[in-house]
Structure formats: structure tokens, C-alpha cells
């Protein structure tokens, strides 16, 4: 068993050994997620459409699971999986859909895309346009983390949990080489684990 961070956010977890420091402790994430849920709930309360939380696999699952528990209006969930390639400055052409949304009622759906992190902005910029073209009643975005310093395309999410510096963050769904997703906080990975 290992623990990281201050006494308050110390957490026993094997993978925590690889973490340099806790950037956002679990309690802070949960507090912010409740605020976002409440904001989302009031923004969509009057809509006649279905509210669909669309999680982008895989990183969004932990955030989405927490978010949906606190939205006290009816929500449905769906998932997409995409891959974003290259360092180009345009969104189109760099994003491949690996798993598509399948809904017959997309025209009556308010789609809220749920992401764990925005980096270049290519993935969300592409997906928002794609879902509008598919005829969604509305398309908005919520991200747990935003790294605006890494943008290569203009993109501003509708709801943001935390703006973070350009550091290698893992946990709460975010991975490095598929590891660390289960950590219940956002931590900065020790450089020796990603610098080879």
C-alpha cells in the first residue's frame, strides 16, 4: 500500500506510487462535479428534448458516472469512441470514429458531450460539427479538465471542471498506456514513467 499527497488526500493505491503529486484531490473533484451537475440541470430543465450525455471512451467514464448521479432531471447515456491523429491545425480529417452513436431520436436529443480532457481541441471540435450534421437538436460540451495552452484549433467548451497546466496528468479516467485510470484523484505522473 502506498499513499501520496497530504494527509487529507492520502490514498492507498498501488498505482499511486508512480504519482509525483496530487494535482486535484478527490473531494475537490466531487465538489466541482456537483456544481457542474447543478448548472447543467438548470440549463436543460426547460428543454422539451431528451438530454443525452454522450461519453467519449474511454477517459470520460469516471467523470460521466459521477456527473449523471447528480443531475436531477431525466438523462439518457450514450457513448462514442474516436481517435485523433497528427498535429495539424484543422479538425477534419484527423479524427476517426471507432464507435458511432446510434439513435433514431437524435433530432429530439440535446447532446451533451462528456470528455475527461481537452488538449489540442481537435476531437471536440470535430465531434460538435459531426453531431450537428447528424441533426441533433443541440450540441454542447462538458470537460473535467481543460489544457488551453495545448490548443491547435479554436475550441471553448460550454462547461469546464478545472483548467490545468501543461503537465502529464493521470487518474479519474485519464491514462498513460492504459494505466492509472482507476486512481480517484488527478495526479501528475513522475517523468520517469513516461520519458523513455
* Binding-residue pattern over the window 177 to 196 for ligand PRP, x denoting contact by CB under 6 A: --------------------
* Binding-residue pattern over the window 83 to 102 for ligand PRP, x denoting contact by CB under 6 A: -x------------------
Q: Is 42 exposed, middle or buried (0-12, 13-18, 19+ CB in 10 A)?
A: exposed
Work out which of 117, 131, 136, 169 binds ligand PRP, going by CB under 6 A: 117
Residue with cell 458511432: 100
Residue among 66, 88, 86 nearest 77 (CA): 66
What is the footprint of ligand PRP within residues 118-137 (CB under 6 A)?
Answer: 118-123
Q: What are phi and psi of 130, to 5 degrees?
A: -60, -45
Read off the C-alpha cell for 140: 454542447
Q: Does 148 bind ligand PRP (CB under 6 A)?
A: no
Of the residues 110, 116, 119, 146, only one is catalytic, namely: 119
Q: Does 115 bind ligand PRP (CB under 6 A)?
A: yes
Report how far residue 72's alpha carbon sits from residue 156's, in angstroms, rounded to the nearest whole number: 26
Residue with Cβ nearer ligand PRP (9 or 57) = 57
What is the footprint of ligand PRP within residues 43-62 (CB under 6 A)?
Answer: 56-59
**Residues 127 and 113 sit within 8 Å (Cβ to Cβ):** yes
Q: Does 80 bind ligand PRP (CB under 6 A)?
A: no
**Residues 127 and 82 sit within 8 Å (Cβ to Cβ):** yes
How many residues touch ligand PRP under the rule CB under 6 A: the total is 15
Residue with Cβ nearer ligand PRP (75 or 117) = 117
Active site residue 119: yes
In the complex, minimum distance from the CB of residue 123 to ligand PRP, in angstroms, rounded to a whole number: 3
DSSP annotation string for 49-118: SEEEEEEEETTTHHHHHHHHHH--S-EEEEEEEEEE-S--S-STTSEEEEE----TTGGGEEEEEEEEEE
**Active-site annotation, residues:** 119
Interface residues toward ligand PRP, by CB under 6 A: 56-59, 84, 115-123, 175
Amino acid at each position: 500500500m502506498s499513499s501520496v499527497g497530504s494527509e487529507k488526500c492520502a490514498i492507498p493505491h498501488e498505482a499511486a506510487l508512480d504519482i509525483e503529486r496530487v494535482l486535484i484531490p478527490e473531494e475537490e473533484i466531487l465538489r466541482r462535479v456537483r456544481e457542474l451537475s447543478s448548472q447543467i440541470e438548470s440549463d436543460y430543465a426547460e428543454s422539451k428534448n431528451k438530454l443525452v450525455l454522450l461519453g467519449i471512451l474511454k477517459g470520460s467514464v469516471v467523470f460521466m458516472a459521477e456527473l449523471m448521479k447528480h443531475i436531477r432531471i431525466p438523462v439518457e447515456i450514450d457513448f462514442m469512441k474516436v481517435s485523433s491523429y497528427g498535429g495539424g491545425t484543422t479538425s477534419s480529417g484527423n479524427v476517426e470514429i471507432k464507435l458511432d452513436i446510434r439513435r433514431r431520436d437524435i433530432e429530439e436529443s440535446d447532446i451533451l458531450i462528456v470528455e475527461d480532457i481537452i488538449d489540442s481541441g481537435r476531437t471536440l471540435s470535430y465531434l460538435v460539427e459531426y453531431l450537428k450534421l447528424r441533426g441533433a437538436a443541440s450540441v454542447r460540451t462538458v470537460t473535467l479538465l481543460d489544457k488551453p495552452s495545448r490548443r491547435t484549433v479554436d475550441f471553448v467548451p460550454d462547461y469546464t471542471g478545472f483548467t490545468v497546466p501543461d503537465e502529464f496528468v493521470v487518474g479519474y479516467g485519464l491514462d498513460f498506456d492504459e494505466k492509472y485510470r482507476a486512481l480517484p484523484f488527478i495526479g501528475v505522473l513522475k517523468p520517469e514513467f513516461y520519458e523513455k
